[in-house]
Amino acid sequence: MRRTACWSILSLLCFLVVQQGQAQPAACRAEDLCIGGEATAVSRNVGQLSPLTTVANTEPCPGTPVDVAAQSPDEHGLACSAAAEAIHRLAVCGITPRRPVRVQIMSEVRHPFSGAIFGLLDTKQERVLVTQEANVQTLLDGTPYAALPRRDFYRSLIIHEVVHAVMHQNLKRPASSHAAYEYPAYALQIESLAASVRDMFLQSFDQRAIKADPIFNDSILFFDPYFFAARAYLHFKSSADGCSHLAAILDGEAAFIAPPM
């Protein structure tokens, strides 16, 4: 498990800046995933951030309420496949898209406060932005994801973001914390990995620690999102009814999520 002081400080600074600047903050970590908050500043910046973010043709995914903008048929096919799996995994819990999900595969996705990131859900424009697979390697370096087959990780990354999108469409009230936003995305992302790959990821952590305290909070998320991801998956899978946790988050009544900092 990696917990460098540098990333931790960056994460904390990022969190504090966003907290002060927006009514509904964006979760962001320098090396990890982001949810764009509803504040216009974040969404506007995301859309303008880089000349590399030119959107290619948008095409629908066959049989799935998802539109994908990508630069190649391979990228389009992979994104559609991953998005369909995300939608299926949520549908198992009775959670379905209320409108089509838009996914854009981009040369680079940047957050205004933390630089290049894997991807994010832009809630203002209702679109999922994901960095191209070829460009995620530098973001992977130094993380537990780096040991995983890149394609496996990348597919799970798209699943993570599409879970955010569909959950967001179904929220009955705004999630009370970043942890509440991230729990479903991480739990289903890690669940989507093949068993051997998932075990590789889970073995990165102290086994007693990831099975301990069942309360999820923003501190753990910001200081060690990978640890949070591992715990979310184990908590979700070890529950008699993991789907009830997702329903509770949609209702804003998840007792296992600590109040925000």
Enumerate binding residues for Zn ion (CB under 5 A): 33, 182, 185
CA atoms within 13 A of residue 7's CA, in its CB half-sphere: 18
Q: Which is nearer to Zn ion, 75 or 182 (CB)?
A: 182
Q: Which is nearer to Zn ion, 71 or 219 (CB)?
A: 219
Closest C-alpha to 246, from 177, 141, 171: 171
d(CA 185, CA 191): 10
Q: Which is nearer to Zn ion, 33 or 159 (CB)?
A: 33
CB-based contact 144:165 (threshold 8 Å): no
d(CA 85, CA 220): 27
Cβ-proximal residues to 114 (8 Å cutoff; 6+ apart), any chain:
10, 14, 28, 29, 30, 34
d(CA 62, CA 221): 35
Rg (C-alpha) for the chain, rounded Å, is 17
Query: Would strands 101-106 and 127-131 be described as parallel, antiparallel, or unpaired?
Result: parallel
How many other CB atoms are there within 10 angstroms of residue 135's CB atom? 15
Sign for the CA dihedral angle at 8, 30, 224, 261 comes to: positive
Shortest separation between residue 93's beta carbon and Zn ion, angstroms: 18
Q: Which is nearer to Zn ion, 38 or 59 (CB)?
A: 38
Shortest separation between residue 185's beta carbon and Zn ion, angstroms: 4
Closest C-alpha to 24, from 177, 167, 171: 177
Q: Which is nearer to Zn ion, 185 or 257 (CB)?
A: 185
